[in-house]
A and B are shown apart, each in its own frame.
Chain A
Amino acid sequence: MARYGMLINTKKCVGCYACRVACQMVNSLAPEESFISFNELEQGSYPNVYAEVVPVQCMHCEDAPCEAVCPTHATYTTDSGVVLVDEGKCIGCKYCMAACPYGARVQIEETGVIEKCRFCWYEGEPGNPPRCVNTCISGARIFGDLDDPESEICREIARTNAQPLAGNLTAAKIYYVR
């Protein structure tokens, strides 16, 4: 069984928001609702400055706090490691929103359900690749199987020493090149 994850290379991200809008379209989200948030960071001081944009979305944690606290089991993990929300079980209590260390859970106004990135999951498989990866203009995103050492994502993680945002706090499956 595959174990899906993503790599986001902030050294290639120009902050164009293509991933956000593509994601909104494929998921039929309202303009104000987004599964991806962007954090603009500045390091150093003029004129020695480094600026980066860090896109944040559901990390599909192996130790997912949102799943742990979800009282209805609406949040669950598939065999291939993708954390999903069963809309039919979600009561919208927002406990998952509080528990997620990445602020990745989003309430959908229309349904009240607390949604999130689902790696464009559809009919038992994630997107190949998910839309945010598909449309990234600079190739800053790579999607693939973390259990396949020959996959592009595994090679890039090894080459760039990419790390999850919060170390091994939640065994997150999105790796960042910083």
Chain B
Amino acid sequence: MRCNPTRRTFLKGTAATAVLAAGGACSLGAWQREQAEAAGALTSGPSLCNGCSSKCGLVATTRDGRLWTVEGMEEHPYSKGTLCGRGHGTAQWAYSDGRLTQPMKRVEDGSFAPISWDDAFAEIGAKVQEIVAEAGPEALAIIQDPRPSGKYYSKRFMNALGSANVYTHAAACNLSKESGIEQATGAQNFSVDFANTKMVVFIGRSYGDAIRPSSVKSLAGAAAKGARVVIVDPRLNNTGVFATDWVPIKPGTDIALLLGIANVLVTRDLYDHEFVEQHAVGFPEFAAQVADYTPEWAEGICDVPAATIEELAESLAAAAPACAIEPSWRAAFGCAYQNSFETARCVCAVNALLGSWGQKGGALLTSSPKAGDLDPAKFPKVPAPASPRLGDEEYPLALSGTGTNLAVLNGCNDGAIQGVFFYNSNAVQGYAQPAKWREALAKAKLVVTIDVQMSETALESDYVLPECTVLERLELPEFIGGKKHYVALRTPVLERIHPETKPCDEIFAGLAEACGVGQYFPFTVEELADAQLASVGTSLDEVREAGIVELTDPEFAYGVPTFKTPTEKFQFTSEKVGTAGLNPVIGYVGRLVEPAEGEFFLVGGKQGIHSHTMTMNLEALNAISREYGLERLWMATSDAESLGIADGDTVEVESSEATGQVTVKVTERLKPGVLFLPTHYGSTSPYLTRAQGLGINMMDFVPLHLEPKVGSVMSQEVAVKVRKVEG
């Protein structure tokens, strides 16, 4: 019963409770008599949100054991005392009527029937051993969207079986961007020093739509201090309230804008000579190449006026080094286009020309803590798998930590993969075209999904194993990097609602035992968490009590960072990129699909209340989508007028792959010729009663094609036609 906190844990009162009491926060809100009467039964405890991968700190308050409220944890660097809408919404997951409450097995007629844990483990174990015997362990794979316990246990489980095929969702998220940044800087991400910045340029990313509270606060602070905030996006997104400039751009051509800026910086000698000469390699080659990318050339591709590009370049140069192009996440070049990897490199190149790396107000590379070595007697080392990960050869620029999960899709089709596990991952609905995933998974001998609800991926599985929800489970410590280092913990603040659900650690330990590799899991999650925490100088008890603990100060200091590239310098050229068969010098790559006459660009994006497709069925969040028609397809007013479409009309969207009907939102906030579709909608799972049939799924429309050498899904390489549906 590891999901269940003991009563004593609650009652002894956490540090967070003390904070609450001191701030009078316990007296917030409730007025009903019964609440007053029940006030004595209020208890609070810290945990981590699971609304998105930020995993913000929260303090949950229960009333007689039932969740009442959640608040952002003051001390957590991401929440800073507040939680976004989906944080509050996903906290209620335990009570959702859309949950899986027991293990399920697909039976002959294709429907699902309950099965006991013991039987499920035994049957899965037998099939895994059969696959290993016939095709070797490299025919097994797991795909997961990383969570504190999940990323550890899924990898350990797969490696214990002898397979290196561990993938994250990244190929449909931020793979291209992280890989591009890695090739330029050696790090996979960077941050903007908002507190001191004078100018920041966002490429497609919207802090107001894909929310981490601390990011919004930082940007709000920068805007209040008068920083120039430029939003480059075909859509005026919800971050627009903080923006000084909106630069509408043709989708998938941000690279041209960036190269145009680079051209101005180089040809007008506005770049940081010291940085380029002392701390970078390949500048001469880059400068030679960039000479062709004039603002006029860029305008022809990205449809941003050359004068705007020149002005942006000059202003950046004037603000340098206290300025930066923001690194983004999924948005416009996380996995969207054929040129996404290269766009990320261009972002880094512009920041390099500005000399903003490591500078006050510029682009910062910070460090992250991690657990130290553990006692191998207690936590036995898993031998490295013999075969390399499937897909790494064809996509050498996929990150070592993520791989490209689409290798699994292809592997199922050609027989290389026969057994697939999914943890906290709705790959079928979101990672590539659902029809292609279904086709591929149908060929696998075994598909197992571990989730809290019957996702579209679960529907394609032979076994579905129910995890308990976020506030019902203890997970491994979450290490947080940045200017300061922290470790935080997801602790259970609710009793397990459905007794036949289990936390991820128990599920993987059970699977390992059944598959004959139980010897690698001779510890409980508490023991492992405690050991990991001890290795960084704290303990499970301490972090459990406080929710978050600050670790040894990494003593961040401004100044040019050490680039962890093979050359130990900033790389305008990358040998690895050249070896992969691409242009080693940062330069131009076009988008793949160009809309024909009468066709539209289709871009996607997040909404603040949803996380991928996983939150769509949650009562509180789904109600918002329905009340405000958030599933609608955005269309520019001028396009709507010329097609005779009015706000609220239903249209049929058609691509080479699919057609679908959706309601239209007519808006001035969109570049004509572009359609915007929020990417959470169009669930097809009959088990997700609220989500099913609400809106359409963008991935249905996108052809299955992977970004060369990187392996991202190229989620926006698509052109569509739209026509009004009469009646």
List chain A positions with a Cβ less than 8 A from chain B: 10-18, 20-22, 24-28, 31-32, 34, 38, 40, 42, 44-47, 49-53, 84, 87, 118, 120-123, 125, 127-128, 130-131, 134-139
Query: Can you report 7 residue pairs joining A to B where beta carbons are below 8 Å apart?
Result: A14-B208, A31-B622, A40-B628, A46-B670, A51-B240, A122-B28, A134-B82
B608 within 8 A of A: yes
List chain B positions with a Cβ less than 8 A from chain A: 23-25, 27-32, 35-36, 67-72, 81-85, 87-89, 91-92, 207-209, 211, 213, 216-217, 220, 236, 238-242, 246, 248, 608-609, 619-624, 627-628, 636-638, 667-672
Q: Judge whether B27 and A20 touch: CB under 8 Å.
A: no
Q: Judge whether A128 and B88 touch: CB under 8 Å.
A: no
Q: Judge whether B624 and A127 touch: CB under 8 Å.
A: no
Contact of B238 among A15, A118, A131 (CB under 8 A): A15
Tell me how far the C-beta of A22 lies from the nearest C-beta in chain B, rounded to whole angstroms. Answer: 5
A27 to B88, CA, bound (A): 13
Q: Judge whether A26 and B85 touch: CB under 8 Å.
A: no
Q: Judge whether B68 and A18 touch: CB under 8 Å.
A: no
Give every chain B residue within 8 A of A131 (Cβ-Cβ).
28-29, 69
Give every chain A residue within 8 A of B82 (Cβ-Cβ).
18, 134-137
| Given A16-B85, A16-B609: A135 in contact with B72 (beta carbons within 8 A) | yes
Give every chain B residue within 8 A of A51 (Cβ-Cβ).
236, 238, 240-241, 669
Give every chain B residue within 8 A of A25 (Cβ-Cβ).
67-70, 88, 91-92
A14 to B209, CA, bound (A): 8
Q: Judge whether B627 and A32 touch: CB under 8 Å.
A: yes
| Given A21-B88, A46-B636: A138 in contact with B217 (beta carbons within 8 A) | yes
| Given A14-B608, A17-B624, A31-B620: A137 in contact with B672 (beta carbons within 8 A) | no
Chain A's closest residue to B636 (CB) is A46
Residue among B29, B30, B85, B672 with most chain A CB within 10 A: B29
Chain A's closest residue to B666 (CB) is A42
Q: What 14 additional pairs, Cβ within 8 angstroms, besides A18-B83, A42-B669?
A: A11-B241, A15-B208, A17-B609, A18-B88, A20-B624, A25-B67, A26-B28, A26-B30, A47-B671, A120-B31, A123-B27, A128-B23, A134-B71, A137-B211
A6 to B88, CA, bound (A): 22
Chain A's closest residue to B27 (CB) is A122
Q: Judge whether A139 and B211 touch: CB under 8 Å.
A: no
A162 to B216, CA, bound (A): 22
Q: Judge whether A28 and B32 touch: CB under 8 Å.
A: yes
Tell me how far the C-beta of A113 lies from the nearest C-beta in chain B, rounded to whole angstroms. Answer: 11
Chain A's closest residue to B670 (CB) is A46
A125 to B28, CA, bound (A): 9
Chain B's closest residue to A18 (CB) is B85
| Given A16-B609, A31-B620: A49 in contact with B668 (beta carbons within 8 A) | yes
Contact of A49 among B29, B217, B236 (CB under 8 A): B236
A48 to B671, CA, bound (A): 11
Give every chain A residue within 8 A of B637 (Cβ-Cβ).
45-46
Tell me how far the C-beta of B678 lies from the nearest C-beta in chain A, rounded to whole angstroms. Answer: 13
Give every chain A residue within 8 A of B88 (Cβ-Cβ).
18, 21-22, 24-25, 135
Contact of B668 among A17, A31, A44, A125 (CB under 8 A): A44
A96 to B260, CA, bound (A): 59
Give every chain B residue within 8 A of A50 (Cβ-Cβ).
240
Chain A's closest residue to B215 (CB) is A137
Tell me how far the C-beta of A45 lies from the nearest C-beta in chain B, rounded to whole angstroms. Answer: 5
